[in-house]
A and B are shown apart, each in its own frame.
Chain A
Amino acid sequence: MKRHSVLRVVAKLFLPYILLFALYVQFHGDFGPGGGFQAGVIFAAAFILYALIFGLRTAHKVASADLLRILMAAGLLLYASVGIVTMLKGGAYLDYNFLRHDPVHGQHLGILLVELGVGVTVAAVMVTIFFGFADRKNR
């Protein structure tokens, strides 16, 4: 679809805003509707749009299979290690109160990190699933 200049221009125009909106949903999740899963899906949607318009090969240059694999694992690890840190600081697993001196700050930081982990993993998994189907022809 590279030859359709309208699509290309509009997509280019949209992409940064979709990504930005994903980040908004991600980091505003603790005040309003949103959170890691939704943000991850929106982020991946931007990526899939890019792949649809500019071709799989270009998309692979941005996100290689190795990078996606590492991100998938890293998100989950981030989530789980927040729990390990709270344990090391003397609390129960995922007891955010112990992350900071002030429990309120601790809760804030905890949910932010955990949701970030969810977001990273979900985005990476979504893109991987997309590639899993889209790459079948080339194999």
Chain B
Amino acid sequence: MIRENLPALQVVIPLMAAPICILFKNGRAAYGIALAATLFAFGAAISLLTQVLGVGPISYELGGWAAPWGIEYRVDYLSGFVLVLVSGMGVVVQLFSPASIKREIDEEKHYLFHCAFLLCLTGLLGIVITGDAFNVFVFLEISALSSYILISLGKHRRALTSAYQYLIMGTIGSTFILIGIGLLYMMTGTLNMADIAARIGPVATTRTVLAAFAFFTVGVSIKMALFPLHLWLPNAYAYAPSVVTAFLAATATKVAVYVLIRFTFTIFGEHFAFEETPVATLLMPLALIGIVVASSIAIFQKSVKRMLAYSSVAQIGYIVLGVSFVSVTGLTGGIVHLFNHALMKGGLFLAVACVVLRIGSDRIDDFAGLGRRMPVTMFAFVVAGLSMIGVPLTVGFISKWFLIQAAIEKGWWPVAALVLLSSLLAVAYIWRVVEIAYFRKPPEGEDRITEAPVSMLLPMGALILATIFFGLNTEATAGVARQAAEYLMGAVR
């Protein structure tokens, strides 16, 4: 019974756990419930992915209503892969959270943190698993509203204003997406993704569908913080509690990229999206400019969290670059980087969370001497940083390898060169932190700073090991990503 209902339970269990947290109104009980629900979600996601890899895409009819009329949950290679990523990051962050939120969030708000976290997880998982376009919007709102709450839990006063800024931008983004979906519904009379894809052909060249595609693309670009629309992101990441930053950086923007891939390839179809409209010629320059500009801004940041936030904007550029090649290799690179970037950026933000726990600040100058005071944390930072640069044996290398390969396949040498050169910018901002942490003397009287507790080091260490493991064993990630890319590119024909 559990097995055939797994697609529904994937979303329902975290959703039900959230109000139970509210009922208990106790931080510790809420933590137990949240952890159990997140672990269940992770197990369900792994089981779904293995099923998909074995027997192909799974479809589930909610309420027993058949697909074009009722809401369909659909797990294919890409969604299974992203489900595992999102729920896995959820588990890591939940395991990591107790010590960190104890310092950064007021005790009486802990149960609210866990409740909002679960709702955010529900929303993100729901976006990925659903096969219904309107359902995507509903879950998008669930995850967005709960992430505004999570960000505003930050202790700094500016956490509220940055949550508000994100609220305004996020609402504009999801409204645009809703308008796009509404126009699509108007032209095709259906909300089921596969059904829209089947019916869009005859009306694809109408102005209404073009407008729908335009609204959708801009809306989702805001959500994933693509370069000129990224302004909400640095503040939100800098002032949110550290664990929230780690979770959102690893999942929220990635799921927005998933929505972009899903809509352009599954619903609109690559022929319409990339040949009849100039979206690819628009996305690629934006991605490239984003990579260069955001990486350069990152070099000059005083706060490490904000630096990593700008680096996230640049990394979204790499993912979108992969998508905009519109080739199997490029899409594989984008999907792999989606996964890999989540691992390394999650690891980096968790390392910063450890530092914030001990010294109470994320200013880059306060990192002085931490290489000796917090050796494990800083070592983790260095490994994840190397991965960010794209050094071989780490996951970052794999993604860049695919991206460069895709560029060479198309004969776009300047793009390949730019991807390589932009790694140097990553060297610059990662090295700044490493230099200060290892080669600058700590200020006097700071001897009592010790390593972070084991409860935080273990989840962080697991992520760092994963960045090495998936850098060596590429079959698990790149293999699935290639299968997903081939399925997406083939699904249109």
Contacts and interface: CB of A to CB of B under 8 A. Distances in A.
B22 A93 contact: no
Interface string B1-34: 1000100110010011011101101000000000
A90 B63 contact: no
A90 B19 contact: no
B62 A80 contact: no
A72 B22 CA distance: 9
Contacts of A37: none
Nearest to A94: B63
B54 interface: no
B63 A69 contact: no
B451 interface: no
B5 A77 contact: no
A48 interface: no
A73 B8 contact: no
Nearest to A88: B1
Interface in B61-109: 61-64
B46 to A, nearest CB: 20
Contacts of B8: 83, 87, 92-93
Interface residues of A, number: 21
Interface in A14-35: none
Interface residues of B, number: 18
Interface of A is mostly: helix
A49 interface: no
B60 interface: yes
Contacts of A94: 62-63
A38 interface: no
A80 to B, nearest CB: 5
B12 A93 contact: yes
Given A92-B63, A94-B62, A95-B64, A84 B22 contact: no
Nearest to B115: A73
A94 B61 CA distance: 10
17 contacts: A72-B22, A73-B20, A73-B22, A76-B16, A76-B19, A77-B20, A77-B23, A81-B16, A84-B16, A88-B1, A92-B8, A92-B60, A92-B61, A94-B63, A95-B63, A96-B63, A97-B64
Interface of B: 1, 5, 8-9, 12, 15-16, 18-20, 22-23, 25, 60-64
Q: Which 10 A-B residue pairings sit nearest by Cβ, starting from the closest?
A: A95-B64, A73-B19, A93-B8, A94-B63, A73-B22, A76-B19, A80-B16, A73-B23, A92-B64, A87-B5
